[in-house]
Amino acid sequence: MKALDKIITVFRKFPGVGPKQAERFALYVVRASNSEVESLVEALRAVKKAVRYCRECYNYAEDDLCSVCAEPGRDRALICVVERPQDLAAIEKARSFTGVYHVLHGAVSPAEGIAPDQIKIKELLERVRAADGLVREVIIATNPDTEGEATAMYLMHGLKPYVGKITRIACGVPLGGDIDYMDEVTLGHALKGRTNI
Ligand SMILES: [Zn+2]
């Protein structure tokens, strides 16, 4: 394979990058100065070397603990389980969650052949078990799709012997939304997840 085709193939693997964009990236590299290319290569090596999993929650971290786990004052008895580090970042942005997280790095999917032991489920069970009754609540914030629901069910069974309270994030009517325009699945979920007022 020619050098240019090779770099286009590499960029094509990036999430959300189509053939046209991959080509634009490749041509940018071709036009860039030697020092720009060097700093790109250096940045790639550095991030690969520095970023690892947090020892507690499996979020991305540059130290033993991620920035959330390292924060004093976090409620360690409250664990929110998410599929991806991006989900954690989204919840953090909302600034209303004071607990800690556990990142699964995926969801159980029989269709795609992803078994429970291929994501960080046993690590969560081990973490909760090792806390010896100190975990008060686990909030399951996996996506409200087939895989996320299957993962939530699996987690619920696994966690039950160790945690008093297991909850699932509410999904349903978006703020500012119009009930009239909602699809029946979402509306069904909203009704099922209703709360006392
Ligand atoms: Zn962490």
Specify the CATH number for 3-50; select among 3.10.20.600, 1.10.8.420, 3.40.50.920, 3.40.640.10: 1.10.8.420
Q: Which residue has the higher pLDDT, 53 or 186?
A: 53
Residue 63 C-alpha to ligand 1 middle, in angstroms?
A: 10
Q: Is the pLDDT of residue 29 over 90?
A: yes
Q: How confident is the prediction for the chain on average, in pLDDT?
A: 93
Residue 195 C-alpha to ligand 1 middle, in angstroms?
A: 31
Residues 48-85 pLDDT 10s: 999 999 999 999 999 999 999 999 999 999 999 999 99
All residues with CB under 5 Å from ion ligand 1: 54, 56-57, 59, 66, 69
Residue 48 C-alpha to ligand 1 middle, in angstroms?
A: 18
Residue 57 C-alpha to ligand 1 middle, in angstroms?
A: 4
**139: β partners:** 80, 167
For the chain, give every domain's residue range: 3-50, 73-169
Q: Is the pLDDT of residue 1 over 80?
A: no
Residue 25 C-alpha to ligand 1 middle, in angstroms?
A: 33
CA 150/CA 119 separation, integer angstroms:
13
Residue 52 C-alpha to ligand 1 middle, in angstroms?
A: 11
Residue 143 C-alpha to ligand 1 middle, in angstroms?
A: 20
* Per-residue confidence band for 40, with pLDDT thresholds at 50, 70 and 90: very high
Residue 101 C-alpha to ligand 1 middle, in angstroms?
A: 7
Residue 23 C-alpha to ligand 1 middle, in angstroms?
A: 37
* Per-residue confidence band for 180, with pLDDT thresholds at 50, 70 and 90: confident
Q: How far apart are the first and last CA of the chain?
A: 64
- pTM across the whole model: 0.82
> Residue 191: its pLDDT value, please?
85
> Residue 3: its pLDDT value, please?
94
Q: If one looks up domain 73-169 in CATH, what number appears? A: 3.40.1360.10
Residue 96 C-alpha to ligand 1 middle, in angstroms?
A: 17
Residues 109-162 pLDDT 10s: 988 899 999 999 999 999 999 999 899 999 999 998 899 999 999 999 999 999
* Per-residue confidence band for 183, with pLDDT thresholds at 50, 70 and 90: confident
Q: What is the DSSP string of the chain?
A: --HHHHHHHHHHTSTT--HHHHHHHHHHHHHS-HHHHHHHHHHHHHHHHH-EE-TTT--EESSSS-TTTTSTT-EEEEEEEESSHHHHHHHHHHT---EEEEE-SS--BTTTTB-GGGTTHHHHHHHHHHTTT---EEEE---SSHHHHHHHHHHHHHHTTT-SEEEE---SPPTT--GGG--HHHHHHHHHT----
Q: Is the pLDDT of residue 13 over 90?
A: yes
The residue length of the chain stands at: 197
> What percent of the chain lies above the pLDDT cut of 70?
100
> Residue 104: its pLDDT value, please?
97
